Amino acid sequence: MSTIPFAVLRWRAAVGLLLALLAAPLVAAEYQGKVVAITDGDTLTLLVPDGSSQRQIKVRLGEIDAPESRQPYGTRAKQQLSDLVFSRPARVVVQDTDRYGRTVGRVYVGGFDVNAEMVRRGGAWVYRQYAKDPSLYRLEAEAKAAKRGLWALPASQNIPPWEWRKTESGRRASAGPPPVAGRAVPGSFSCGPKKYCREMASCEEARFYLTRCGLTTIDGNRDGEPCETLCAKARR
């Protein structure tokens, strides 16, 4: 009876392990946390556990594109997303990371798909360049036929964001304002019993409580900036 060389056995074992790894189901990365801020109709901030503390993650809803803030229906789209997710626990199935460092993914709240719901309500377009889910196109067609949300706009105002961003006004608006000085969160703050803006010693502390401690009640208009009066003074 011939003996199989050890090198051959080792090669077979390596091949077997590789095949097993390739056959194993891929598990998508996920985040679970609380939505603490809404940037616009397709971007939110999620507060997630990070060891003994918490950290915030900027999430871009994948496969859809909502009107930019300065576009017609931009403010309404932001409010639609806020109504669906703000201050609620959410699960994000990660799809990618975009060039701005944002996590791109499908967002789920209370058992429903937020990305799909935004399209169904007419709060966003299907993002043709990146969409892989064919059901989104069906939802968009239904919203368009029913003239829901942005589909009720006149044709002259119903411009997909990726086209609007190519215009001069779109490029200026998408660039956004310059960073605000003094936005860094000092490391000396810690989550405590404070609940109201009048208890905050500074705007920086208020931002810490909002983004790190999840105290969303101090962000009354859900724009990601807490204690409007206090922080307005800090900007002067």
CATH number of the domain to which 68 belongs: 2.40.50.90
Structural domain harbouring 217: 197-235
Do residue 120 and residue 201 come from a single domain? no
Any domain includes 17: no
How far apart (Å, rounded) are the C-alpha atoms in residues 179 and 177? 6
Is the Cβ–Cβ distance between 136 and 62 less than 8 Å? no
Tell me whether strands 43-50 and 112-113 are parallel, antiparallel or unpaired.
unpaired
68 is catalytic: yes
Do residue 162 and residue 78 come from a single domain? yes
Which of 125, 143, 175 is the C-terminal boundary of a domain?
A: 175
Number of domain units in the chain = 2
Q: Name the residue with tokens 């206090």.
A: 230
Catalytic residue among 10, 30, 55, 60: 60
Do residue 57 and residue 108 come from a single domain? yes
60 is catalytic: yes
3 state DSSP class of 14: helix
pLDDT tens-digit map of 80-135: 999 999 999 999 999 999 989 999 999 999 989 999 999 999 999 999 999 999 99
Do residue 40 and residue 94 come from a single domain? yes
Any domain includes 135: yes
102 is catalytic: yes
Catalytic residue among 68, 117, 204, 225: 68
Instruction: Assess whether pLDDT exceeds 90 at residue 153.
Output: yes
Share of the chain above pLDDT 90, in %: 56
CA angle (179 as vertex; 61, 186 as ends), nearest 5:
95
DSSP 149-197: GGGGS-TTT---HHHHTTSHHHHHHHH-PPPPTT----TT----S--SG
Do residue 129 and residue 215 come from a single domain? no
Global model pTM greater than 0.75: no
Do residue 43 and residue 104 come from a single domain? yes
Catalytic residue among 63, 102, 120, 222: 102
**Listed ranges 7-21, 138-152, 182-196; the one with the highest mean pLDDT:** 138-152
Instruction: Assess whether pLDDT exceeds 80 at residue 171.
Output: no
